[in-house]
Amino acid sequence: GTTAYIHARVAPLTSRLILVLADDRTREQRVESIRRDFVANVSHELKTPVGALNLLAEAVGEAKDDPEAVVRFSSRMHLESERLTRLVQQIIDLSRLQNDILSDDATAIKVGELVGEACEHSATEAEHKKIDIVTSVEPDLQVHGDRSQLHAAVSNLVENAVTYSPEGSRVTVTALLDDGDVRLTVTDNGIGIPGEELDRIFERFYRVDPARARATGGTGLGLSIVKHVAASNGGTVEVWSEPGLGSSFTLVLPAFQHDIDEDSERNRA
Ligand code: ADP
């Protein structure tokens, strides 16, 4: 199972649980276990929105003399089809990640740009909930990795922070250099995650509260994508959370060190 490669570190003096995620298994082992349950989960998850769409289509047909009901049912159809589109996109992202475990599209990426794009991605939702997104990124930070994968990972973290936070609260995104690694942290003051759930939230399709997640349009795939992106770009994910206080997710990625010697070599040539 997935828990086999989750290393838990419990800080003894506090109730905070820190999870460091890393995938130790060989590529073969991973591909094998992915084959075993991914298809089963996917077909199960697709049945929910498709079933809802079927029922709503029927209801629209029966309510044709009630214009208000038609409007209500069709707006729910719209929401369900948006969720279905999102689900299919995330399934595609995830299966791509699972199939090329090592990214071969790595380039140097400015961390400030990744953070800016992720905040932009959630700007409408944040504005809607009057949530302030505050960023603080050390200048000139760069990571080495797959741009679109890292974009998806950071965007997912910011999106979750906004989704699981109350109106009028604050989300903070920081990035700093620490011993050759970039530590990119997204912190919220939202509902938090119970300690016993922390090792499960990175599993595919896992949601702490399925009913609430459905209401927020969640798919349960976001953090699974984050975990795979971290692993395939040589990094890890850490999480800290306390119910009622908030959560903090940190992507730890190898920093791209701009090589000054190489530059001066080139200038000399
Ligand atoms: P979802 O699409 O449901 O958000 P994720 O894989 O991104 O799926 O997250 C899995 C579950 O972890 C969520 O359903 C939610 O219960 C919990 N979760 C993720 N991020 C946060 C957060 N910032 N605050 C509280 N709960 C969170």
Per-residue pLDDT of the chain (269 residues; tens, 9 = 90+): 233 333 334 334 444 555 556 666 677 776 676 666 777 788 888 888 899 999 999 999 999 889 999 999 999 999 899 889 988 988 888 888 877 655 567 889 999 999 999 999 999 999 999 999 999 999 999 999 999 899 999 999 999 999 999 999 999 999 999 999 999 999 999 999 999 999 899 988 888 877 666 666 678 899 999 999 999 899 999 999 999 999 999 999 999 986 555 555 555 54
State whether the beta carbon of 165 lies less than 6 angstroms from ligand 1. Answer: no
State whether the beta carbon of 173 lies less than 6 angstroms from ligand 1. Answer: no
Ligand 1 centroid–CA 220 distance in Å is 7
Ligand 1 atom 25: the closest Cα is on which residue? 192
State whether the beta carbon of 191 lies less than 6 angstroms from ligand 1. Answer: yes
Report the C-alpha gap between 219 and 211 in whole angstroms.
Answer: 11
**Among 143, 141, 193, which Cα is nearest to 165's?**
193
- The encoded tokens of residue 230 equal 């971290």
State whether the beta carbon of 246 lies less than 6 angstroms from ligand 1. Answer: no
Question: For residue 240, what are the β-bridge partners?
Answer: 248
User: CB atoms < 10 A from the CB of 263, how many?
Assistant: 10
State whether the beta carbon of 220 lies less than 6 angstroms from ligand 1. Answer: yes
Model confidence, pTM: 0.80
